[in-house]
Structure 1
Amino acid sequence: MTFAPPKGTVATPDRALDKAALYANARRAAAGFRALGLGPGSAVAMVLRNDIPFLETALAANWAGAYIVPVNWHLRGGEVAAILADCGADVLVVHTDLLAEIRPFVPDKIRILAVEPSPCLIAAYGIADAAARAPDGLERWEDWIGGLEPAAGPPAGRFSMIYTSGTTAQPKGVTRESAGAEAIERGSAMMADAFGLWRGMNAVMTGPMYHSATFAYSSGCLALDGDLFLMPRFDAADLLRTIERRKAEAMHMVPTMFSRLLRLPEDVRGRYDVSSLKYVIHGAAPCPPGVKRAMIAWWGPVIHEYYGSTEAAIVSVASSAEWLARPGTVGRPRKTTPVQVRGGDGAILPPGQEGELYMQLNPAYGFTYRNRPELDEGTRGGAWFTNGDIGWQDEDGYLYLCDRRKDMIISGGVNIYPSEIEAVIGDHPAVRDCAVFGIPDDEFGEAVAAAVETSDAVSEDDIRAHVAERLAGYKVPRIVAFHDALPREDSGKIFKRRLRDPYWAGADR
């Protein structure tokens, strides 16, 4: 069976590649992976920023029949090590400037392929010359694939392992696999329908592709005829320039990006033509109503909002018109993913009543948790699954969210789990106890705050530095408040609501 790559191009600010060449490079890498012994059950991890090798690696792993494991490149070495161990990575493809942090944690058995950052990445992140070069003894990605002949035949299927913490701080690999050309076509069609993609579209990738949504969006764009432009790093003014210059039609965004765009001076916002936009979809975090209205007023009724998760994929989508008519809705559940609102006793609740949201997984989107068989009940296609989100439906079936899980913080579309940060702060010798929770933030939706009960003298900066040494920067508390004693229930559990509520008083949530 022959495979014809889609038409169109993939580009960054300093490089453009037609999809035929992109797929040829992916097939060369697939041949290399197979030569290393990779196949079904193997895993290729990548710690890469938005760059063409990210797409080549993802395509190549699937061509070889291996899982692709995109890793959040903001994570610290120990955090990356936990994912590499859990997924059983055989190969790690990594940008050279990110390697210094994680290399001490990479087992010798894992083959490392180094990607030197492109000039646009060097400029965007201020990467030093030495860090931009592959260390001695490591093979450069470009050299490696250049010496290989393309693998024959079609891709083996679609295999991914996306890590999400779920309702705990421990990373969980959401594993999906579907073999064969028919499965690839079916999955691509579902992604296109969910994200509003179409053949011949001209799309811009605004956020890091290691997230499950952006990874799925970029994969959907790759499978269709059309162009995809990768922003090396989000910048509000640069996005407007990109839209005008490339006549961009489609994008995936998060509310934080909207807030940054709206904070631009009026003359900057009015300087660029955004009339080419046809379909902009956003999700990952709640969007403040004022921000949503302002964006629709500016860009027109091209903005759509989705609700979903790594596990359940996209559950519902709301158009601008639907949201304006029903402020706060995330749309009707898609026909492929029915939703039930259930009470504490498991009974299905009538319209208007809040309860836990259960969605029926589409047969094409069943999954398992990597190395966590005890969690796999209810994860197969056709099963009813819950993330623990609370919401309700109106009489017309439109879905509304009340809470994004009990204590989870969503900052700039990133899930942050207080228990992980609490464990780190609790290890500080001057800390007796602590509680971590989310507080309002105009740009990111929520920011991290920590309430700390101390046993000895310690400063806010000391606590932040203690966390920064052990966890990713976005997990470092924005605010550290010291208390003589934290409020507790009779059982000894901390009353987080009493700590959190004063910050949210009067906030538009």
Structure 2
Amino acid sequence: MTSLAHQRTEHRCDWKIGDSMTPTLVYGGRTYSPTWMEEEVRRVLAGLHDLDFKEGDTVAAMLRNSPHYVALVLACRQAGLYLASINWHFKALEANHILVDSGARALFIDDDLLPQVREGIPDEIAVVTTSSTSGTKDNAVAPSFANWARWEDFGAGRPSMPPRAGTAHSAIAYTSGTTGKPKGVRRLPAAEDQPASMPQRLQRVSDTVYGTGTAVTAYLCAPIYHSAAMNYVAHFCTLGATLVLEPRFDAEQTLALIEKHRVTHAYLVPTMYQRLLNLDPSVRQRHDLSSLQHVASTGSPCPVPLKQAMIDWLGPVITEAYGSSEAGYTTFIDSATWAHQPGSAGRPLPDARVHILDDEGRPKPNGEIGLIYVRQHAMPDFTYINRPEDRRAIERDGLITLGDMGYINEEGFLYICDRKADMVISGGVNVYPAEIEATLLTMPGVVDCAVFGIPDSEFGEGLAAAVQPRAGFEITPSEVQAFLRDRIANYKVPRVVDMHTTLPREDSGKIFKRLLREPYWRDQTRAI
């Protein structure tokens, strides 16, 4: 066993942390100064340099929100590395796919998460663990990996990576499609013919979506492994802001922290809105939230009554943007505009194009529903790692679609109506039924199944599974849920499981999911 902390090389170099990348971090009741962050970033860069990382290489992370995670995000951006984040709910098979597919050469992981993914970590990957109160002891970690180090020892006393010029690389976001196999979205380096002003143009988009200003204090409780939350971190670190970071969302704690730290900017999603509004009115009223200037929401569409209730409570500070890991942000709407266009996802952002096309690629007239095609020219192009055919399949004349359906009204505002694909957005998190179905079909006694989205008052959408047992088999809903819980992240396990003697299928063999969904959505005012 070779501890990474004790590897030595002869490389000598200097690395200067940019002054704009030194946030003040508030976490767990402690304030971490810009100097602390600079030192952490330098040390991580030194450890990566010892591992001979070069610009364009990939690091993986399976971490809960923490100062360590922020330092790793900034270190990767400084060194021009890609960061592939793994949802910390994932199990071994899910994590293994990302580690192998992304080509990650190192994994940073909370030590108490190791047991659930240990079998999925390739032998050749270096492992860096952070300590946790419920974590795995060092003597249990060390023998398991040929290259291993504790976070606090990684890169200690070593020279850092060499300076790198040019645009920073970005996070690799993993997103699925109809196949259920996660696809890695890797942003390509800016092409030589692209304008030098692209970083400034992208900054303008981020300033609009996330907010900007001086003396900014931003609040984040969404998981950094989500691409929007990671971009939020990077944005406010670049501004040198104070970032109040929480490991998870707690409604009353959120209000207390906004009041205590006079938070000016926050990132919240509709599920959080609902939980905040579910608090007793007396609890909500006892907190002074007048410091809030900008609340960003980008995770999923927000129902009109829910958004109106938030604006009535907090004032005209609620904003919404439509975007994706592939395309970036393409539309935006603030509270004042939304009051005149309720339910809209806004107008195109600077440098963005938004078109509504039919299945043959012909433009649809204003007011008619079609596929939403977009392009954000402030961002370089992207590829799906090892999946060029999937990348080509979503493009038409330089625009891309993710299967969302909508229309543009006469005033130029985008309205999202439905999704052509089966993807479910639950609590702002994308869930892909095909992946769950593929796992469920490995359960003994299951001959057929379908997973789809149903209304959920808390998460916007929940998951339901229609299961057809094999003749002679007795299977209960709880057995189905237990089987899935052992193999996939818990949030992917359907809350509703119904048994069917047969499932409705087209002649082509495709399941009529519409027929399964209709009873749940019949009395709803929305279809997404």
SS at match of 1:144: coil
Distance 1:485 1:129 in 2: 45
For 1:146, the equivalent position in structure 2 comes to 156
Change (3 A) 1:243 1:418: same
Structure 1 counterpart of 2:9: none
Tell me if structure 1 keeps the 8 A contact 2:111–2:136: no
- Per mean C-alpha deviation after superposition, the further-off stretch among 61-70 and 232-241 is 61-70
Stretch moving more, 97-106 or 442-451: 97-106
Could you tell me which amino acid in structure 2 is paired with residue 310 of structure 1?
S
Relative to structure 2, which stretch is displaced further, 297-306 or 159-168?
159-168
Secondary structure of 1:365's counterpart equals coil
Closer/same/farther in 2, CA of residues 184 and 63 from structure 1, 3 Å limit? farther
Q: Within 5 Å, which residues of 2 pair with 1:92-491? A: 92-117=107-132, 128=134, 130=136, 135-136=141-142, 138-151=148-161, 153=163, 157-160=167-170, 161-178=172-189, 187-362=202-377, 364-377=379-392, 383-455=398-470, 456-491=473-508
Cα distance change on mapping 1:433 and 1:221 into 2, 3 Å = same
Query: Which is further off, 283-292 or 260-269?
Result: 283-292
CA 1:413–1:151 in 2, change beyond 3 Å: closer, same or farther? same
Could you state the TM-score of these two structures normalised by the residue count of structure 2? Answer: 0.89
Map Cα deviations across residues 130-156 of structure 1 (whole Å, 9 max, x no partner). Answer: 569983454211122433344454666
Q: RMSD in angstroms over aligned alpha carbons?
A: 2.4
Match of 1:86 in 2: 101
* Closer, same or farther: CA 106–505 of 1 in aligned 2, 3 Å: same
Answer with 414-423 or 187-196: which moved more: 187-196
What do the CA deviations read for 1:103-137 (whole angstroms, capped 9, x no partner)?
Answer: 221112111011113xxxx5xxxxx3656998345
SS of structure 1 residue aligned to 2:339: helix
Deviates more, 1:53-62 or 1:390-399: 53-62
Deviations 1:334-354 (A, max 9, x none): 131111101122111111011
Runs of 5+ in structure 2 lacking a partner?
1-14
CA contact (8 A) 2:49 2:160 kept: no
Q: 1:5 aligns with which of 10, 14, 19?
A: 19
- Bigger mean CA deviation after superposition, 128-137 or 457-466: 128-137
- Displacement after TM superposition at 1:222 (Å): 0.8
Cα separation, 1, equivalents of 2:321 and 2:217: 20
Q: Output the CA distance in 2 between the equivalents of 1:362 and 1:40.
A: 24
**2:11 matched to which residue of 1?**
none
Asked if 1 retains the 8 angstrom alpha-carbon contact of 2:269 and 2:297, the reply is yes
Q: In 1, distance between residues paired with 2:51 and 2:452?
A: 45
For structure 1, which runs of at least 5 residues remain unmatched after alignment?
123-127
In the other structure, the counterpart of 2:73 is 58
Please state how far the C-alpha of 1:31 moved relative to its aligned partner: 2.4
Range that drifts further, 186-195 or 297-306:
186-195
With 76-85 and 136-145 compared, the bigger mean Cα shift is at: 136-145
Q: Per the alignment, do residues 168 and 253 of structure 1 end up closer, same or farther by CA in structure 2, a change over 3 Å counting?
A: farther
Deviations 1:251-299 (A, max 9, x none): 1111000010011111111111111100001122121222111111100
> Is the alpha carbon distance of 1:48 and 1:331 closer, same or farther for their aligned partners in structure 2, counting shifts above 3 Å?
same
Q: CA deviation at 1:4?
A: 3.6
d(CA) in 2 for partners of 1:251, 1:28:
29
Q: Partners in 1 of 2:113 and 2:199 — Cα distance?
A: 32
Shift of residue 25, structure 1, vs aligned partner: 2.0
- Separation in structure 1 between the aligned mates of residue 394 and residue 33 of structure 2, nearest angstrom: 38
- Code of the aligned partner of 1:163: Y
* Residue of structure 1 in register with 2:520 after alignment: 503
Distance of 2:458 and 2:414 partners within structure 1: 25
For residues 150 and 198 of structure 1, the distance between their equivalents in structure 2, rounded to whole angstroms, comes to 32
Report matched runs for 1:3-42 at 5 Å.
Answer: 4-6=18-20, 8-42=23-57
Q: Give the whole-Å Cα distance in 1 for the aligned partners of 2:317 and 2:232.
A: 17
CA contact (8 A) 2:356 2:406 kept: yes
Q: Is the 8 A contact 2:404 2:420 kept in 1?
A: yes
2:7 matched to which residue of 1?
none
* Greater mean alpha carbon deviation, residues 339-348 or residues 296-305: 339-348
**Deviation of 1:392 (Å):** 0.2
Deviation at 1:371, TM superposition (A): 1.4
CA contact (8 A) 2:199 2:378 kept: no
Residues 326-379 of structure 1, C-alpha deviations (whole Å, 9 max, x = no match) = 111000011311111011221111110111011123153311111122233388
Per-residue CA deviation, residues 283-322 of structure 1 (Å, 9 max, x unaligned), is 2212122211111110011000111111011111111122
Distance 2:63 2:122 in 1: 19
Note the C-alpha offset of 1:10: 1.4
| TM-score between both structures, scaled by the size of structure 1 | 0.92
Moved more, 178-187 or 407-416: 178-187
Once the two structures are TM-superposed, the CA of residue 382 in structure 1 deviates from its matched residue by 9.1
Contact 1:29 1:148 in 2 (8 A): no
Q: Which of 488, 500, 511 is the matching residue for 1:494?
A: 511
CA distance in 2, matches of 1:129, 1:89: 23
1 CA distance for matches of 2:378 and 2:187? 11
Partner of 2:10: none
Report the AA paired with residue 376 of structure 1. Answer: R
- Structure 2 counterpart of 1:69, one-letter code: A
Q: Secondary structure at the match of 1:308?
A: strand
Moved more, 151-160 or 64-73: 151-160
Cα displacement (A) at 1:2: 6.0
Residue identity opposite 1:141 in structure 2: W
Alpha-carbon distance between aligned partners in 1 of 2:136 and 2:127, rounded to the nearest angstrom: 18
1:176 maps to a residue whose letter is R
Q: Secondary structure at the match of 2:153?
A: helix
CA distance in 2, matches of 1:347, 1:182: 32
For the 8 Å contact 2:395–2:401, the answer to whether it is kept is no
Q: Is the 8 A contact 2:455 2:520 kept in 1?
A: yes
**Would the aligned equivalents of 1:355 and 1:392 in 2 still touch at CA under 8 Å?**
yes
- Contact 1:63/1:156 (8 A) holds in 2: no
- Quickly say closer, same or farther: Cα 1:416–1:129, change in 2 above 3 A: closer
Q: Summarize the Cα distance change of 1:381–1:28 in structure 2 as closer, same or farther, 3 Å threshold.
A: farther
Q: Work out whether residues 114 and 134 of structure 1, in 8 Å CA contact, stay in contact via their aligned partners in 2.
A: no
- Number of positions where the alignment pairs a residue of Structure 1 with one of Structure 2: 500
C-alpha separation between the residues in 1 aligned to 2:486 and 2:458?
25
Q: Give how far 1:476 is off.
A: 0.6
With a CA cutoff of 8 Å and minimum separation of 6, indicate the structure with the bigger relative contact order: 2
Q: State whether residues 27 and 150 of structure 1, in contact with CA within 8 Å, keep that contact through their aligned partners in structure 2.
A: yes
User: Structure 1 residues 132 and 215 mapped into 2: Cα distance closer, same or farther (>3 Å)?
Assistant: farther
Aligned-partner residue type, residue 116 of structure 1: S
**Contact kept? 1:45, 1:91, Cα under 8 Å:** yes
